[in-house]
Amino acid sequence: MRVIDSHTEGEPTRLIVDGGPPLGTGPLALRRERFARDFDDYRRFAVNEPRGSDAVVGALLCEPEDPTAAAGLIFFNNTGYLGMCGHATIGAAVTLARMGRIGPGRHLFETPVGPVTVLLDGPNAVTIENVPSFRHRAGVAIEVDGLGTVVGDVAWGGNWFFLAEASPLPLEMAHIPGLIRAAEAVARALAAAGITGTDGAAVDHVEFFGPPAGADAHSRNFVLCPGGAYDRSPCGTGTSAKLACLAAGGKLAPGVDWVQESIVGSRFTARYRLDEAGRVIPSITGRAYVVAEATLLRDPGDPFANGIVP
């Protein structure tokens, strides 16, 4: 399997460019189902230890259905599959540019949850326009073991998020282990209380917000992803969910920049427009860098040939 690794504002992406699962053709959502049902060992092989790590998000480069699209992408991590992934789309765009597959300008990418556009604005600078995002529930109060009552919104930004305004700990790197434990407790409480997205979808990403370190940012976040890893970037889909909540609360007007800082101090600059149907369409600007090109090898005698299964 040939992969190209990048990071987007600190968060790693591993793009499978050759040797991925034979998913055939059809809508990306169906191909993602096929991936999960019949070829999950490819996911574990690509991103789990000993070849990857819990922090790595994988993206499978696919032929798009729409001939005008530049690429299709299916996202996955140490535990399963994602709908969209903002940082990985930015990383994939920079990687595809390095491969000579796309040039500067605007490109359409297909994902399992809908088309997104990508504006390549230099070798490392990318703006993505994400899928329509929305606040599903506002001011949800849940009782969380060890934390008491936690109040937040449930929103969609390409994945499902619970966005808690108050962080249980200062948003500093020294507190990451405690923030992970707190966010995991929130995720368990949401599941126990039956709080879901639409159609019973699991709310599997948890965000805490607090004041930014830099005066020119608007907010700092900590994002826990399914699988227990935290996002080193401000999270593209999480920032989209945040914009949807700000828009729904009348706190941010269309076209106004929102600078979201991550727990490691990196940033996305984000804004939204309203489409003809009045839906929030977020766009996220960030930087990505290619860090490795590799061939992953599989020895059938290796007891961990398909990765370590947690």
In angstroms, what is the minimal distance from the CB of 75 to ligand PYC? 8
Q: Which residues are catalytic?
A: 85, 235
In angstroms, what is the minimal distance from the CB of 224 to ligand PYC? 10
In angstroms, what is the minimal distance from the CB of 78 to ligand PYC? 11
How many helices (DSSP H) and strands (DSSP E) are in the chain? Answer: 5, 15
Angle between helices 40-47 and 28-38 (to 10 degrees): 80
b (16+ CB within 10 A) / e for 280-296: bbbbbbbbbbbeeeeee
In angstroms, what is the minimal distance from the CB of 38 to ligand PYC? 24
Residue 201 CB burial class (10 angstroms; 0-12, 13-18, ≥19): middle
Nearer of residues 9 and 153 to ligand PYC, judged by Cβ: 9
Nearer of residues 57 and 189 to ligand PYC, judged by Cβ: 57
Nearer of residues 103 and 127 to ligand PYC, judged by Cβ: 127
Nearer of residues 25 and 28 to ligand PYC, judged by Cβ: 28
- Contact (Cβ atoms closer than 8 angstroms) between residue 57 and residue 12: yes
CB-CB neighbours of 147 under 10 Å:
16
The H-or-E segment that residue 141 falls in is: strand 134-144
Q: 177 preceded by cis ω (within 30°)? A: no
Question: Given the rule CB under 6 A, which residues bind ligand PYC?
Answer: 11, 57, 82, 85-87, 159, 225, 231, 233, 235-237
The H-or-E segment that residue 245 falls in is: helix 236-248
